[in-house]
Amino acid sequence: MHQTMKAIVNRQYGAPDVSQLTHVPVPEAKENEVLIRVHMSTINRTDTGFRSAEYVISRFWSGLLKPKNPISGCEFAGEIVAKGKLVKQFEVGDKVFGFTTSNFGAHAEYLAVAEDSPLALLPIGFTYSMAARLVEGAHYALNYIRAAKIKEGSTVLVYGATGAIGSAAVQLLKYFGATVTAVCASDKIEIVKNLGADEVIDYQRENYAEKDKRYDLVLDAVGKSSYREAARVLKPGGFYTSTELGKYAQNIFLALLTPLFGGKKVLFPIPKLTQRDVNWLKQVAEEGKFKPLIDRQFTMEEFVAGSVYVESGQKTGNVLLKIE
Ligand SMILES: NC(=O)c1ccc[n+]([C@@H]2O[C@H](COP(=O)([O-])OP(=O)(O)OC[C@H]3O[C@@H](n4cnc5c(N)ncnc54)[C@H](OP(=O)(O)O)[C@@H]3O)[C@@H](O)[C@H]2O)c1
């Protein structure tokens, strides 16, 4: 095996051009880890969020003054090429996909992760590019769906249904039997209908908050709405949740305060992801019930341009990063 590998490295926080394509040593698999030859990754809002550290709070995970794990990347699909002596569930040659925000490192030719981390075998019939985009958006979506205790017959409005989170949310909500109203731009209505949305609202022509329908959950998947607006269309006891902190970080305070008064509530769940969740996503993908949207694909040499595009907030679903 090679001694060094190509990797995208962030030695500091900042604008997209702090990311550099460089050569670094290949990691070694510890006794409980597998070493994966990564073939496909994504550039996503988790990557750009941690790189910019725009929300200072992210530095409590990733390092206060500079990234403690400089190789970026959280989503991956590839093949196991070595394993530690305690690893039982996976074999060399297994094709796997997963997610790593404990140490990041997926924007590199090789990645070492613990065998009990969010890691699973590729869904049957899936390529690396299909599997690499299964987790990032979907696990946030799942987190909101679980927090709001969505069940068969719940009514949900997904604001921003064309992002990685929103497009996963529409499909997973349908899987759980919810009735889904999706909000998107005019040119994306067909895409969103194909995800399974029962009703689509074009945000360029109508304001969802001025319509008559009432919801158990308003999931703002792009952080561009507000509780004040959404509360108008929530049922009594309904929930509002958002992917962003909101103006003056209001969503955190509202999540603490609204439960004290009964009635409508704001939820701000901390994202969690287990290996069981990744296996569940694999199963739903194998059943054909979850097909993550794909937008563009970039190479490692084009990484900075890819980050600029992702950060523009205009991608449709997921952006792939091919690891040569
Ligand atoms: N800090 C973190 O670690 C982190 C991690 C993940 C996600 N997030 C946040 O989660 C949010 C979603 O991320 P994502 O990756 O799922 O989204 P994304 O892929 O960046 O998607 C944005 C999508 O939303 C649509 N959109 C933009 N403005 C809209 C509006 N006013 N109403 C409805 N749709 C609109 C865009 O299409 P059009 O422009 O055509 O409408 C685009 O398709 C972002 O706000 C992101 O910052 C944060």
CATH code of residue 37: 3.90.180.10
The strand pairing partners of 41, in sequence order, are 76, 321
CATH code of residue 173: 3.40.50.720
Q: Is the CB of 306 under 6 A from ligand 1?
A: no
pLDDT the model gives residue 102: 84
Q: Is the CB of 316 under 6 A from ligand 1?
A: yes
> Does one domain contain both 238 and 121?
no
Global confidence as pTM: 0.96
> Does one domain contain both 39 and 87?
yes
pLDDT the model gives residue 193: 98
> Does one domain contain both 67 and 168?
no
Residue nearest to atom 40 of ligand 1 (CA): 185
Pocket test residue of 45, 201, 294 for ligand 1, highest count of atoms within 8 A of CB: 45
Task: Provide the domain count of the chain.
Answer: 2
> Does one domain contain both 307 and 160?
no
* Helix/strand/coil (H/E/C) assignment for every residue in 202-240: ECCCCCHHHCCCCEEEEEECCCCCCHHHHHCCEEEEEEE
pLDDT the model gives residue 324: 79
* Helix/strand/coil (H/E/C) assignment for every residue in 240-280: EEECCCCHHHHHHHHHHHHHHHCCCEEECCCCCCCHHHHHH
Which 3 state secondary structure label does DSSP give 106? coil
* Helix/strand/coil (H/E/C) assignment for every residue in 174-191: HHCCCEEEEEECHHHHHH
- Per residue of the chain (324 residues), what is the pLDDT tens digit? 669 999 999 999 999 999 999 999 999 999 999 999 999 999 999 999 999 998 888 898 899 999 999 999 999 999 999 999 999 999 999 999 999 988 999 999 999 999 999 999 999 999 999 999 999 999 999 999 999 999 999 999 999 999 999 999 999 999 999 999 999 999 999 999 999 999 999 999 999 999 999 999 999 999 999 999 999 999 999 999 999 999 999 999 999 999 998 899 999 999 999 999 999 999 999 999 999 999 999 999 999 999 999 999 999 999 999 997
> Does one domain contain both 119 and 151?
no
Last residue of one domain, picked from the residues 250, 267, 284: 267
**Which ligand 1 atom minimizes the distance to the CA of 317?**
19
> Does one domain contain both 106 and 161?
no
> Does one domain contain both 61 and 130?
yes
Q: Which residues form the domain of 220? A: 137-267
Residue nearest to atom 1 of ligand 1 (CA): 49
Last residue of one domain, picked from the residues 247, 267, 287: 267
